[in-house]
């Protein structure tokens, strides 16, 4: 998203710890965008109600990611500790 095209009119300064900023910069490079765009998008997602269309678009983006995900029963087994026998 180009800042000039969307008519940005307010400016703020946010200070990040070095490791967090490095992670944001890596993510921005991977997505071919700027850290500012990442922060604006995160704020929009977190603090705007957004339209149904926007939410569906975000779900579609998530679904398109190639992430290592197991079946529901595999994920449950990984997240719930095994039951131990009583002595």
Residue 59 lies in a domain: yes
Predicted model pTM: 0.49
Residue 57 lies in a domain: yes
Residue 11 lies in a domain: no
Residue 16 lies in a domain: no
State the DSSP H helix or E strand holding residue 43, giving kind and residue range, or none if neither: helix 35-47
Residue 44 lies in a domain: yes
How many folded domains does the chain comprise?
1
Question: Residue-wise pLDDT tens for the chain (87 aa)?
Answer: 444 456 778 889 999 999 999 999 999 999 999 999 999 999 888 887 767 888 888 889 888 888 778 888 888 888 877 778 777
Residue 45 lies in a domain: yes
Range of the domain at 53: 39-63
Count of positions (residues) in the chain = 87
Residue 86 lies in a domain: no
Rounded to the nearest 10 degrees, the angle between the axes of helix 35-47 and helix 18-31 is 90
């Amino acid at each position: 998203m180009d800042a000039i095209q969307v008519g940005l009119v307010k400016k703020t300064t946010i200070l990040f710890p070095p490791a967090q900023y490095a992670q944001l910069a890596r993510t921005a490079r991977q997505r071919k965008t700027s850290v500012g765009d990442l922060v604006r998008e995160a704020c929009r997602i977190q603090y705007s109600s957004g339209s149904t269309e926007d939410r569906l678009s975000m779900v579609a983006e998530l679904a398109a990611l190639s992430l290592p995900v197991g079946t529901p029963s595999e994920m449950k087994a990984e997240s719930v500790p095994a039951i131990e026998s009583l002595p």
